Chains A and B, each alone.
Chain A
Amino acid sequence: EPEVTQTPSHQVTQMGQEVILRCVPISNHLYFYWYRQILGQKVEFLVSFYNNEISEKSEIFDDQFSVERPDGSNFTLKIRSTKLEDSAMYFCASSEDRVDGYTFGSGTRLTVV
């Protein structure tokens, strides 16, 4: 069964540093998403991406965040200057059709120290 792949599985970074979280969505999927889950809290929507542009973003997704699909296979989330409160599990997801459920990746645990 096809999978969404995320790397790294765990990243530790110092406050103020830039991080790039990487995702390889399922190859025939058209819709891409990032979500995050702070420990003990709900899974929260960050951003959706379709046709090479952001289709929707949440209030969390401020100027510190950006997404890119640089080469037709990877889908990245960049946090420019990390804060302690960015520590969370970040999930990438993709979908073939917007009414289908998504396929999620296994997540990247980001720890900002």
Chain B
Amino acid sequence: AQRVTQPEKLLSVFKGAPVELKCNYSYSGSPELFWYVQYSRQRLQLLLRHISRESIKGFTADLNKGETSFHLKKPFAQEEDSAMYYCALGSGGYNKLIFGAGTRLAVHP
């Protein structure tokens, strides 16, 4: 079964602390993985996609096929990083997205 698991509903850290938002997936084929972010009252925005191996706003994510994980990391959290973060798996020929339940990141001053 195709599934995305984000085990933490809430991750609370202090400004400047490292952040790791966990994402595990279950998929029989070659996965396409994404991280989306939703700031308060705003739309879902694409943050990262694994195929581009980019770093956006200091965030990185590495696909680990052995552990079926795509954790999102940032070395030093900022208050403006506070948001809801969704991991998503692209599936099928037209790339429908299967979302995890999301993790709310709260960065405190």
User: Which residues of chain A have C-beta atoms less than 8 A from B98's C-beta?
Assistant: 45
When the two chains form their complex, are residues B96 and A48 in contact, meaning their CB atoms are under 8 A apart? yes
A91 at the interface (CB under 8 A from B): yes
Chain A 55-84 interface 0/1 with B at a Cβ cutoff of 8 Å (1 = within) = 110100000000000000000000000000
When the two chains form their complex, are residues A43 and B99 in contact, meaning their CB atoms are under 8 A apart? yes
Using a CB–CB cutoff of 8 Å, the interface residues on chain B facing chain A are: 32, 34, 36, 42-46, 49, 51, 86, 88, 90, 92-102
User: Which residues of chain B have C-beta atoms less than 8 A from A56's C-beta?
Assistant: 92-94, 96
The segment from A11-19, A20-28, A94-102 that touches chain B is A94-102
Decide yes or no: A44 and B32 within 8 Å by CB, A50-B94, A102-B46 being known contacts: no
**Given A42, A99, A107, which contacts B43 in the complex, CB threshold below 8 Å?**
A107
**Given A45, A50, A95, A104, which contacts B44 in the complex, CB threshold below 8 Å?**
A104
When the two chains form their complex, are residues A33 and B96 in contact, meaning their CB atoms are under 8 A apart? yes
When the two chains form their complex, are residues A99 and B32 in contact, meaning their CB atoms are under 8 A apart? yes
When the two chains form their complex, are residues A99 and B51 in contact, meaning their CB atoms are under 8 A apart? yes
**Given B42, B46, B93, which contacts A101 in the complex, CB threshold below 8 Å?**
B46
27 A-B contact pairs sorted by A residue (CB < 8 Å) = A4-B43, A31-B94, A31-B95, A33-B97, A35-B97, A42-B99, A42-B102, A43-B97, A43-B99, A43-B102, A44-B99, A45-B96, A48-B94, A48-B96, A55-B93, A56-B94, A56-B96, A91-B44, A98-B93, A98-B94, A99-B51, A101-B34, A101-B36, A102-B97, A103-B46, A105-B43, A106-B43
User: Which residues of chain B have C-beta atoms less than 8 A from A48's C-beta?
Assistant: 94-96
> In the docked arrangement, what's the CA distance between A100 and B88, Å?
12
